[in-house]
Structure 1
Amino acid sequence: MIEKGQPLPSATLSELTSEGMQSHQVGELFADKKVVLFAVPGAFTPTCSEAHLPGYVVLADELKAKGVDLVACVSVNDAFVMKAWGEAQNAGDIAMLADGDASFTKALGLEMDTAGFGGVRSQRYAMVIEKGVVTDVFVEAPKSFEVSKAEYVLANL
């Protein structure tokens, strides 16, 4: 599992924007920025839709006031689903990134197999990244939702 002080692995994430499908190299996307990246097991799922993403939508401005350049959500879903979920949640200030093949999630060592529920998905986590290096990582225990909350991350910036 990725740890504090380590650089992010090389990977490509997708994002469907008003300009069309964008492929982002992780190293380029997070270079020269302070980023809060949080991951959810699945778009449109209960905790993710009712609490996790909404917390970041509400606190995006406060995170940015503390020097965060980019708030991003990543999930092992496709870019079309991530865009639709972001629109349904009014998450216009949050980059909705798709890790369709779970390659980024696996490179981080933060995958989990949910079997029949959805297969390989991401564990729930949040991390602070500065210039491509993880400065803090908050990984949830199974079936927990405490340390990856926007409120917790904001309090620990």
Structure 2
Amino acid sequence: MTPEELIAQLRDPGVPFTERRDRIARLPDSRATIAAALDKATAAADWEAVEYLLMAAAAQPDPGYVPALSRALRSGERQVPVEDALEVLAAIADPGTVGLLKDVALTEHDWDEFDQIGMKAVRALRRIRTPESTSALAELAERGSENVRALAGETVENRR
């Protein structure tokens, strides 16, 4: 399956959500195709396609998605499915994303009144068990929002 075929299959408007989820569950190992499709969709700022692709990426996590997800998160565009991207990055737990996750946790979003984005970024950092991630969490425990500080501080304490 090509990246274009995967995107078309996932965004088929005639398919209900439950069938779409079942299609994703039945996909053979498609990590390379998902990575290529995410790359194309993020480069084109096709956030609807990215949202569908993140469903597939969550079912088949792979470090090959990191460049596209990083580009999406750094774009600052409001339509980016940030929370879904953070969940996939948490599943991947790539040490190369520590700086990105710290930046996301420190960014305030006016539409995120309960700081779910910052909390998901901290949860993704918690999955990365390196000195760099512990240092980033310690910084977030000092500089983040109230919720981010609490969760990051708890994690730092538990790692001691």
Larger relative contact order (C-alpha < 8 A, sep ≥ 6)?
1
Higher strand share: 1
* TM-score normalised to structure 2 length: 0.25
Higher helix share: 2
